[in-house]
């Protein structure tokens, strides 16, 4: 799938038309050859997920957690389940 682009001056259709075609892949909107926006399909996401994905404070928390995990290691999901007294989901 090739990346589709359109210059903002050529994007004269209603946004709804571009959004309906998003399932064919992202559409990058450019201005003077530089990307300024993208229309892309969203799968398995709600508005909260989308909001958090652009929140600088949340992204900083995630980055700190990743760095700490690299330095100190972490727990496996089985270890977390045992600590919480949960079943491992295996029958």
36-88: pLDDT as tens digits:
999 988 888 888 988 898 899 999 999 999 999 999 998 888 999 999 999 76
Rama region for 85: left / alpha / beta (φ>0; ψ in -120 to 50; rest): left
Does any domain span residue 26? yes
Number of structural domains the chain divides into: 2
Instruction: For residue range 66-77, list pLDDT tens digits in order.
Output: 999 999 998 888
Helices (H) and strands (E) in the chain, counts: 4, 3
Beta strands 4-7 and 34-39, pairing class: unpaired
pTM summary value: 0.55
If asked whether residues 28 and 10 sit together in one domain, one would say yes
The answer to whether 26 and 39 are in contact (CB under 8 A) is yes
Q: How confident is the model at residue 14 (pLDDT cuts 50, 70, 90)?
A: very high
Length of the chain as a residue count: 91
Q: Is residue 89 part of a domain?
A: no
DSSP bridge pairs for 39: 27
């Amino acid at each position: 799938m090739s990346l589709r682009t359109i210059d903002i001056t050529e994007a004269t259709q209603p946004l709804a038309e571009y959004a309906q075609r998003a399932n064919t892949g992202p559409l990058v909107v450019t201005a003077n050859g530089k990307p300024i926006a993208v229309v892309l399909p969203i799968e398995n996401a709600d508005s909260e997920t989308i909001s958090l994905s652009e929140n600088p404070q949340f992204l900083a928390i995630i980055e700190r957690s990743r760095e700490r995990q690299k330095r100190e290691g972490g727990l496996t999901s089985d270890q977390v389940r045992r600590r919480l007294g949960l079943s491992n989901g295996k029958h």
